[in-house]
Structure 1
Amino acid sequence: MTSRRDLFKYAAIATAAATLPSIGSASAPARIEKAARPLRILILGGTGFTGPFQVAYALARGHKVTLFNRGRRPSPEWPGEVEQLHGDRNTGDLKALEGREWDVCIDNPTSLPFWVRDAGKVLAGKVGHYLFISTISVYADGSQHGIDENSPVAPYKGSDAMAETQDTLRADIGNLYGPLKALSEAEARKQFGERTTIVRPGYIVGPRDDTDRFTYWPKRIAEGGEILVPGDGQDPVQIIDGRDLGEWMIRLAENGTTGTFNAVGPDYTLTTDAMVHGCHAVTGGPATFTHVPFEFLANQEGADFPIWVPRAGTPFSGYGTVSNAKAIAAGLTFRPLATTVAELLEWYRGLPAERQAEVRAGISREKEAEILAAWAANRG
């Protein structure tokens, strides 16, 4: 079963460019108004999941965009001029940023405190506003309901946080990811002071999500038949469309909004049942849903269902919920679930056949049928 730590440890990892005109979508995008004041925006990363959403929206709003990354991923076809700078934060190569100034810096990929420290050495005093994408995995206790931005963060138990590298993080990601993100937040405040914004998303979903975590559900439901739904259907689900996250961060920059925010959605209580039936409302076709209790699934090898963890208050797990009230008050908005599902499926069905056949999250149809048969036999 997916643990809470596993649930969010890759919250910022995927590839994305779904908002770009070259990608296409199930619905025509709404007209985007120009911002009151154009900004010079530096985006560290920019070719991952949320970065392309930020770029496309920033360009549409009339801002000037500079990207800084290693240049190892092909950049999408941007709908406007984008300056590209190259360097490597792993080796401390930030020379391309020296002697430059920007109104805003958005730091997307950082999981290591020394990345923030080194960026501060070059950029402190050279950017007016620093926005850092963190994660709700920073919280020390994820079993509470309504976790807010003031809840305690996970302590780092290593010997030297500044000596941690991507290799050491990968080797012990379950224990290091949240604490190192928390220390990266602290370093951001140290380097950039009151002009710092910390954004803590949970599951980022939608078109161009290469992890298949949320994609498993609309894809499976579209196939129809008897579908295994873990638990009793009342466990909480908190997700955010990557486009909602990326566009909101540009608006935070425009408004000069600082502080710490939980960027999770939606703005209502979403349960497992509401999620699967919401997907079915989009996909249509004959489908039935069979609930299988956690205590039975716990004894089934390979019964790993993405996005789902039993809720706090049950004997089986400690999954709580995170409050998004502060983020909503700061202008975070959400696309309808149906829009995310429809456009995600359109993107996914446009992938090569071999990619669609690759299962990156969830269980196979064969394993699902095996568990359903075992559950039916158990019920007698």
Structure 2
Amino acid sequence: MPSRRAVLKTAALAAAAGALPNVTSAASMARVTPTDRPLRILILGGTGFTGPFQVAYALARGHQVTLFNRGRRPAPEWAGHVEQLQGDRDTGDLRALEGREWDVCIDNPTTLPAWVRDVGHVLRGRIGHYIFVSSISVYADSGPAGITEDAPLAAYAGVDPLAETQASLAADMAALFGPLKAASEAEARRQFGARVAIVRPGFIVGPRDETDRFTWWPLRVADGGEMLVPGDGRDPVQCIDGRDLGEWIVRLAETRTSGVFNATGPDYRLGTDALVHGLHAVTGGPIRFTHVPADFLAEQGIAFGADLPIWFPADHRFAGFGQVDNRRAIESGLRFRPLATTVSDLLAWHRGLPDDRRRTVRAGMSRARETALLQAWHARAAPSRIDAGTS
């Protein structure tokens, strides 16, 4: 049985975790069962999208957390509960990590193999477990359904992946992101051997998502009226709540789990119709969904995955992003909160943003563009419709 002092300490950490802005509630963290085997966890990054979820959950579980980053996004509310070290992996400044030891290192922001190499030089033999957060973009072919972790990876076609920089990556993100993530995975194995877990998330969504790729959908449903639904409504979509991802990564650390995992959800097939109806169940209001075929949208110059974010037609080269095999991650403890919870919390977070940010949706087509597409489609042929909540 834990001592009274340990119980009070864990309660204080749970309260601190729940106080983190735009992360989670103190009540939800208080329900987390503390571990009887606290770890020393080093998180590289930790102040971006999913990192704060890892911090909140790790604190609630009673772990000792150290963050290493450039300090450009300070989090003073963590003072006294999280050790914060500063450095710059882009310049190779890892002095703050030298001579230190941790049970596990969670590497969140890395796309450059050189960053993994440099961390390996400093931490090799000083950590027991290394968790590298990669991406499903590592696969050589993203079109087929059911991509498993053993599918071939994208090949790097440059001269030397270890010579790539943030500048070179930014100059050709589309061509380099996947191959450099794959090369970073290989470097992780070279540096840390079998004590590596590689996590390949799909589209990460929920509160704190600054991309708005998923957010566009519930905002559009909430706006009501006639809404364009691409395809026949059966194309699958996949995504994962950043909190589910962050908490599961901490559990991988606790169990010292190694291997490679596709981390996306849900744990059932979610088609486009089910998605928009699920969103409407949360937002309510009058709306009418109109199916528009993918070939017509292509004729109109629609950019799949951008104008209609996270969705791809069945014959698209990224269609596999909606139907990745995630069974291995589920078997390793990945769990998903209900879609309605993700959407409700996301909209609540979005309503709390500054007015100018809230009015600027960073993904998806404009309402004017959608209206023009619907008018063009109606002019060509009468589409099939799904009526929902017209009262």
Q: TM-score, normalised by structure 1?
A: 0.91
Closer/same/farther in 2, CA of residues 350 and 213 from structure 1, 3 Å limit? same
Unpaired stretches in structure 2, ≥5 consecutive residues: 1-15, 383-391
Distance 2:214 2:331 in 1: 26
Deviations 1:145-182 (A, max 9, x none): 21111111011110111110111111111111111000
> What amino acid sits opposite 2:74 in the alignment?
P
> What amino acid sits opposite 2:362 in the alignment?
R
Deviations 1:293-324 (A, max 9, x none): 1111112245511011012xx4x555122111
2:308 counterpart residue number: 305
Distance 1:18 1:301 in 2: 45
Closer/same/farther in 2, CA of residues 27 and 130 from structure 1, 3 Å limit? closer
1:331 counterpart residue number: 333
Closer/same/farther in 2, CA of residues 20 and 238 from structure 1, 3 Å limit? farther
Distance 1:24 1:57 in 2: 10
Distance 1:32 1:204 in 2: 22
Radius of gyration: which is bigger? Answer: 2
1:9-158 alignment, distance < 5 Å = 20-23=19-22, 28-29=27-28, 31-75=31-75, 77-78=77-78, 81-158=81-158
The answer to whether the 8 Å contact 2:106/2:131 transfers is yes
2:5 counterpart residue number: none
For these two proteins, the number of residue pairs brought into alignment is 361
The percent identity for this pair of structures is 67
Report deviation, 1:64: 0.4
Distance 1:227 1:132 in 2: 39
Report deviation, 1:116: 0.1
> What amino acid sits opposite 1:350 in the alignment?
G
> What amino acid sits opposite 2:189 in the alignment?
R
The higher relative CO (CA closer than 8 Å, separation ≥ 6) is in 1
1:217 counterpart residue number: 217
SS where residue 193 of structure 2 aligns? helix
1:359 counterpart residue number: 361
Structure 1 stretch 226-235 or stretch 316-325: which is displaced more?
Answer: 316-325
Distance 1:253 1:26 in 2: 23
Closer/same/farther in 2, CA of residues 19 and 344 from structure 1, 3 Å limit? farther
1:11 counterpart residue number: none
> What amino acid sits opposite 2:22 in the alignment?
I
Report deviation, 1:74: 2.7
Closer/same/farther in 2, CA of residues 279 and 205 from structure 1, 3 Å limit? same
2:377 counterpart residue number: 375
More helix per residue: 2
Report deviation, 1:290: 0.7
Closer/same/farther in 2, CA of residues 162 and 22 from structure 1, 3 Å limit? closer
Closer/same/farther in 2, CA of residues 23 and 357 from structure 1, 3 Å limit? same
Report deviation, 1:80: 6.0
1:109-258 alignment, distance < 5 Å = 109-258=109-258
Closer/same/farther in 2, CA of residues 377 and 19 from structure 1, 3 Å limit? farther
> What amino acid sits opposite 2:62 in the alignment?
G
Report deviation, 1:82: 0.4
The answer to whether the 8 Å contact 2:17/2:56 transfers is no
Closer/same/farther in 2, CA of residues 307 and 19 from structure 1, 3 Å limit? farther
Report deviation, 1:23: 3.2
Distance 1:152 1:302 in 2: 29
Distance 1:319 1:27 in 2: 39
Closer/same/farther in 2, CA of residues 212 and 74 from structure 1, 3 Å limit? same
> What amino acid sits opposite 2:361 in the alignment?
V
1:7 counterpart residue number: none
1:4 counterpart residue number: none
> What amino acid sits opposite 1:351 in the alignment?
L
Deviations 1:64-116 (A, max 9, x none): 00000001113262396000000000010000000100001000000000000
Deviations 1:218-272 (A, max 9, x none): 0110111111111111111010000000000000000111111000100000111
Structure 1 stretch 201-210 or stretch 223-232: which is displaced more?
Answer: 223-232
Closer/same/farther in 2, CA of residues 62 and 80 from structure 1, 3 Å limit? farther
Distance 2:338 2:121 in 1: 41
Structure 1 stretch 101-110 or stretch 26-35: which is displaced more?
Answer: 26-35
Distance 2:112 2:174 in 1: 14
Distance 1:287 1:266 in 2: 25
Closer/same/farther in 2, CA of residues 20 and 244 from structure 1, 3 Å limit? farther
Deviations 1:3-61 (A, max 9, x none): xxxxxxxxxxxxxx996554376995260011120100000000011100000000000
The answer to whether the 8 Å contact 2:22/2:208 transfers is no
Report the aligned-residue RMSD.
1.8
